[in-house]
Amino acid sequence: MFFKNYRTVIFICAAVVAALILLSYSLKYASGTGMVKKLVLEAAASVQIFFNIPVERTKSAWTRYIHLVGLEEDNRKLRQTVAELQAQLILYQEGRLEADRLRQLLSLQQEYQHSFLAARVIGKEQGAFSRSLWINKGSAHGLKPGMPVMVSQGVIGRITDISWHNSKVMLLIDQSSNVDALIQRTRAQGIVRGAGTRDCVMRYVSKTQDVREGDLVLTSGLSNIFPRGLLIGRVSNVGRTDFGLFLQINVVPFADFASIEEVMVVTGVPVQDLAGEKTVK
């Protein structure tokens, strides 16, 4: 009767005592390998595996997501770096190309015994009737109207208008441009005139002259404007008509007028190139 009435109290007390004994025993002997504990651990391991499946999957997905976020960030940084490097590369390429062009221009000085002044093209004028360039040197730098202007490939024109710090260069292809020229192979003389496009025509060459496609055209030096022997272009076509006294000769200039960025102005010419004297003008 007593046990029945106080069953719960007795059981709780027994549980507390059991727990205390268990604790004392485990503290004293530190044996973690009891049968019950083994069973609990075995069961717990199975449950742990069961819980680990979704956890690991979630972790894996999360890690992948974080990795992707990192990749996106890396990708953005790399793109930025590539863009910066490309800009730098373009800058270096520009520098190298400019150096090449300037080197070619400077080679003119060794090739010809003239005095040159380098100038940068600051503008282009390509109207219906005129083809000209603006360069960043003017009378303050010693330039004068009529001075020939060259690039490494040959003559491109001459200075027509001038201010203190800028000059206008009339190109060979300008229809107002006339240059005394000769065919290198036969020394046949004529005048190269601009055709308004990318080409020129050579006029006043007698039909009796032997002119062929591919012949080089040089300045003759007769007009006292252009020194003798500067490259102008190459004969691209020779027309012989039944009427008229002269050949119809098309000349393609060596210089590419669309891509000129730097020029050399011929500021001093040995007089022998103009009039046969050995002094520099």
Partner 1 sequence: MIYYLLLPFAGIVLVVFQNTLANVLFSGWLTLELSLVLVIYAGFRLDALKGAVLAFVTGFAFDCVSGAPAGLFAIIYLLIFIFSFFVSLRFAAEKLALITVFSLACSLIESALLLAVYYFVFKFENLGDMLFAFILQALLVSFLSAGAFYMMHKMERFFHGQTRQFPRRAAAGRISAQA
- By CB under 8 A, the count of residues binding partner 1 is 35
**d(Cα 196, Cα 204) in Å, to the nearest integer?**
18
The structure tokens listed for 214 are 């591919």
One symbol per residue from 25 to 64: x for binding partner 1 (CB under 8 A), - otherwise; what is it? Answer: xxx--x-x-x-xx--xx-xx--xx--xx--x--xx-----
C-alpha 99, offset from chain centre: 14
9 sits near partner 1 (criterion: CB under 8 A): yes
Nearer to partner 1 (CB atom), residue 50 or residue 129:
50
Nearer to partner 1, 9 or 245 (CB): 9
User: Per the structure block, which two tokens stand in for 57?
Assistant: 């999957």
* Least distance between partner 1 and beta carbon 59 (Å): 8
Q: Which is nearer to partner 1, 63 or 93 (CB)?
A: 63
In the complex with partner 1, the residue whose CB is nearer, 46 or 206, is: 46
Residues 208-267 that bind partner 1 (CB under 8 A): none
Tokens of 235: 């004969």
Instruction: Please tell me the distance from the alpha carbon of residue 159 to that of residue 147, in angstroms, as a whole number.
Output: 5
AA identity, residue 108? L
Q: Angle CA(99)–CA(101)–CA(107) in degrees, nearest 5?
A: 100
Question: How far is residue 92's CA from residue 150's CA, in Å, rounded to a whole number?
Answer: 26
Does 66 contact partner 1 by CB under 8 A?
no
Q: Does 20 bind partner 1 (CB under 8 A)?
A: yes
Contact (Cβ atoms closer than 8 angstroms) between residue 232 and residue 155: yes
Q: Which residues of this chain interact with partner 1, rule CB under 8 A?
A: 5-9, 11-12, 15-16, 18-27, 30, 32, 34, 36-37, 40-41, 43-44, 47-48, 51-52, 55, 58-59
